[in-house]
Chain A
Amino acid sequence: MVALGEDESCPYEECMPDIFEVTVDDLKHLVSERAISGETMLLNMGPQHPSTHGVLRLLLELDGETVVNCIPDIGFLHTGVEKNMEAKTYQKAEVMTDRLDYLNTVGNNLAYSMAVEKLVGLDVPARAQGLRVILVELQRIASHLIWLGTAALDVAAMSTFLYCFREREDILDIFELVSGQRMMTTYIRPGGVWRDVPVEFEKAVRDFVKMMPKRVDQYEALLTRNPLFLDRTLGIGKISGEDALNLGMTGPGLRASGVNWDLRKARPYSGYEQYDFEVPTRTEGDVYARYLVRVQEMRESLRIIEQALNKLPMGPVRSNNRKYVPPPRSEIGVSMEALIHHFKLWTEGFNAPKGYIYSAVESPRGELGVYLESDGGPKPYRIHWRTPSFDNLQSLPLMAKGHLIADLVAIIGSIDIVLGDVDR
C-alpha cells in the first residue's frame, strides 16, 4: 500500500482541494499597527498545543513577554451538529447532543430532552426527575474533576491530574452501570429516562458520596494553600462582574466575579427547587477565585446528590404518553397497540406542534440553552445551541491583556472551555 504523501506524484493538497488554512496574513486586520510595523511580535499558539484544551488557535500580539492582544481563532472542531440534528427525527437527534460538550454529556441530554418536552408538552414522572438530577450532578463533578486535573497540569501540578482521573473513573462506572456506556450515555430521553436504574445503583452512588468529600479535601490540600499554585493564580486574569455580564459569561466564571446567577436557583428545573444547596460565589474574579468556586461547587453537588437520593420516589421513569414516548419493551409482546406505537415512533417519529421554544440548564460551564423551532413535522426545523464555552471564550482577550504569556496558559485553563462546545 502506498500511503498518502509518500507517493510524491500525488501530494495531499491535490487529493483534498476543498480545504483551506487561515494564515497569519489573513488575520492581520485584527491586530494593531504596532504589530505590522514590527514593534510588537505576532506569535501563533495552537491549534496543537498542550494547554489550549483542545484545538483552539490563538494569535498573540506580544510586547516582550507581555500579551498586548490575543485573538482566538475557532472552528477547528466545527462538526455541523446542528445541521445534522435537523436531518433526524426528534428521538434520533438526541445521540448528537452527547458529542457537543463531551464533558457534560448527560447535561446535554437533559437540555435537549427538556426542550422537546416543552415543545410537545410532555410530563416527566417524579422518579425520572430525581434520577436526572443525580446523574447531572455526578456529571458536573466529573467535568470539574477533568477541569481541575488539566488546569492544575497547566500550572505544573502533575499529581492532581492523576488523583482527579481516579475519582472520575468511579463516576463513569456509575454511568456504565445505568446506561452501558461510559461517556455517551443518551440515558435521559424526552419524557423521562431510558429505563429504571439497576438495584446496585443506590449503593454505588452512596459509596461515592461518602468517599468523595475526603477526596476533595485532598485536592485542596494539594493546591489551595500551595505557594506555587497561589503565585500562578492569585490576581491573574481578573474580570469584573459587569464586564463578565456584558460579554455573556455564565457559570463559575461569572460567579467568581461576584454575580450570583445560577439557573438551578434562578429558574429551577427538574425539581431543583426541592433541594437545599448554596451557590458558591467569590468577588475577586481571578483564576484563583474561579478555582475556589469550582471546588466548592463539587461539594454542593454532593449535597444535592445525597438529598435527591434520599427523596427518590418509586414509580415509573417514563411518561405514559404513547404518542411521544415509546412503550416499554415488555408491553410490545402483549399489546398490539404498543407494537403500533413502537413501530410508528421509530420509523416516522412524532409530529411536534408548530412553534419555537428556548430551554436552558446550568451546565458545569454555564448556561446551556437549546432553541428549537418546529414546522409541524417529525424533524426539528431549526435547532440552535447556546453553548456556554463559546460565550465564555469571548472574555479571554480581556482577561489576558497585560499578563505574561506564561499566565495565559493558566487563564485559558480557568475559563474551562471545551472546544466541542465552542465550535459545535
Chain B
Amino acid sequence: MGLEQKLGEMGVVTTTLEQAVAWSRNYAMWPMLFGLACCAIEMMAAEASDYDMSRFGMELMRPSPRQSDLMIVAGRVSRKMATVLRRLYDQMPEPKWVIAMGDCASCGGVFNNYAIMQGVDEVVPVDVYVAGCPPRPEALIHGILTLQDKVVKKIKFAEKS
C-alpha cells in the first residue's frame, strides 16, 4: 500500500506518524478533474470563486488519475461509462477515496432505466454519498469534510482496536 505498511513495526512512533500522515493527506487531497453530468457544473462552482474549495486543500484538480487521491463521481454513470470509470479508479494510486456526488451517482436518482447504473457503488467502493439533485456546492463541501473526518478517524479507530 503506502507509508503505513513500510513503517508497520515501529511501535508508538508509527501511530503518531500515521496520524501526521493522515492529517497531511487530508489537506492535500487532490481530486480528479472528472465530470460526468449536471453535478460536474456544481463541482466546478464549488471549485470556483464563491465557494472556493481550496480552503480545504482541494483546489488542485488533476486531469490524470495517476496523480489524484480522490474521485468525485459527479453525475449519472451510464453502462457505457461504467467500465471507463472503473478503469480510472484502478489507475489511481493507493490510498484513494471516492465520493458519490448527487442522487444519480448514489442510487440512480430519477433515472430508473436501462441506461443508468443504479448507483456507482456497483462498480467502485464509495466512501461518502452526497445527496441532492444536484447537491449545492455547500453539500459537496460538507461531503468532503465528512471524508476528511473519516480519513483521520479510521487511523484513530485502528489504534484503539
Contact = CB atoms under 8 A, between A and B. Distances in A.
Interface of A: 1, 3-6, 12, 15-16, 18-22, 47-50, 54-55, 75-81, 83-84, 95-96, 99, 102-103, 146, 149-150, 161-163, 165-166, 168-169, 172, 182-184, 419-420, 423
Contacts of A18: 79
18 contacts: A1-B125, A3-B125, A4-B125, A18-B79, A19-B79, A21-B80, A48-B34, A48-B65, A80-B114, A84-B110, A102-B38, A146-B44, A149-B48, A161-B48, A162-B48, A166-B49, A184-B133, A420-B38
B40 interface: yes
Given A19-B82, A162-B48, A96 B110 contact: yes
B81 A99 contact: no
A3 B90 CA distance: 13
Given A4-B124, A55-B84, 7 more contacts: A4-B125, A5-B124, A48-B32, A50-B63, A55-B81, A79-B37, A184-B38
B123 A16 contact: yes
Contacts of B84: 21, 47-48, 55, 76
A61 B143 CA distance: 41
A380 B5 CA distance: 59
Contacts of B36: 54-55, 77
Contact of A169 (B45, B80, B89): B45
B123 to A, nearest CB: 6
Contacts of B21: none
A166 B42 contact: no
Contacts, number: 130
Contacts of B79: 16, 18-19
A169 B81 CA distance: 30
Given A96-B110, A166-B48, A182 B40 contact: no
Interface in B89-144: 89-90, 110-116, 121-125, 133-134, 136
B121 to A, nearest CB: 8
B134 A77 contact: no
B134 A184 contact: yes
A254 to B, nearest CB: 25
Interface residues of B, number: 45
A163 B49 CA distance: 7
A84 B111 contact: yes
A18 B83 CA distance: 11
B155 interface: no
A420 B121 CA distance: 22
B42 A77 contact: no
B119 to A, nearest CB: 12
Contacts of B88: 48
Nearest to A73: B80
Nearest to A164: B48
B35 interface: yes
B33 A79 contact: no
Given A49-B63, A50-B33, A183-B41, A166 B82 contact: no
A419 B84 CA distance: 16
Contacts of B49: 162-163, 165-166, 169
A99 B113 contact: no
Contacts of A19: 79-80, 82-83
A76 B113 contact: no
A165 B134 contact: no
Contact of B82 (A6, A16, A150): A16
A48 B68 CA distance: 13
B148 interface: no
A78 B113 contact: no
Interface in B53-90: 63, 65, 75-76, 78-84, 86, 88-90
A420 B76 CA distance: 10
Nearest to A169: B50
A166 B48 CA distance: 8
A172 B137 CA distance: 12
Interface string B11-55: 000000000000000000000111111101110110011100000
A12 B112 CA distance: 21
Contact of B122 (A15, A162, A419): A15
B131 to A, nearest CB: 14
Contacts of B123: 4, 12, 16
Nearest to A184: B133
B50 A166 contact: yes
A48 B38 CA distance: 16
